[in-house]
Amino acid sequence: MSTLEIKDLRVSIATDDGAKEILKGVDLTVRTGETHAIMGPNGSGKSTLAYAIAGHPKYEITSGSVTLDGQDLLALTVDERARAGLFLAMQYPVEVPGVSMSNFLRSAATAVRGEAPKLRTWVKEVKGAMSDLDIDSDFAERSVNEASPAARRSATRCCSSRCCSRSSPSSTRPTPASTSTRCASCPRA
């Protein structure tokens, strides 16, 4: 069981007017199997918390501690934190056509292991891992960050149902972007 524990975390950022404290004593414990939602208005420190514990150099941790399974994360470099299991991912990643997930993962394995896995053993290794994780085997041949067929169908339904339309169904005049309605599955939301 893993535990991420944040105690009295204080984080500042440099501004034109000097250092500005953004996080003022955050406490949080997340254990394996738990789901936590960190919510708040813009500027309340949600992204600052994520960037600070991931090791972004723009954010200065002035006090407090962050541990993962008792290991001091703040003493680790960014890549060491990522290897320990703590990293940031893009919210809307760009698709990389022509680069399959299997090839991408093989390149990553090569970088970590120091030599490329033999192709036959690699295919078996990927299939076994995907089976263990209950991931559809078609995922390995999809391009990096390519939307699943189900997500593409959902987006097609969404955009063909006028829920994302920038014009009112009863008028031909466009409405301002701020008043357009979008469903949760819209790829443009």
Predicted confidence (pLDDT) per residue in 72-82, tens digit: 999 999 989 98
Distances (CA, A) of 36 to 28, 88, 149, 175: 10, 16, 29, 37
Average pLDDT, the chain: 82
Higher pLDDT residue, 163 or 154? Answer: 154
Sheet with 71-72, side-by-side order of all strands:
18-31, 3-15, 59-68, 71-72
Q: Has residue 121 got a pLDDT over 70?
A: yes
pTM > 0.85: yes or no: no
Say how far apart CA 82 and CA 157 lie, in whole Å. 37
What is the per-residue pLDDT for 179? 39
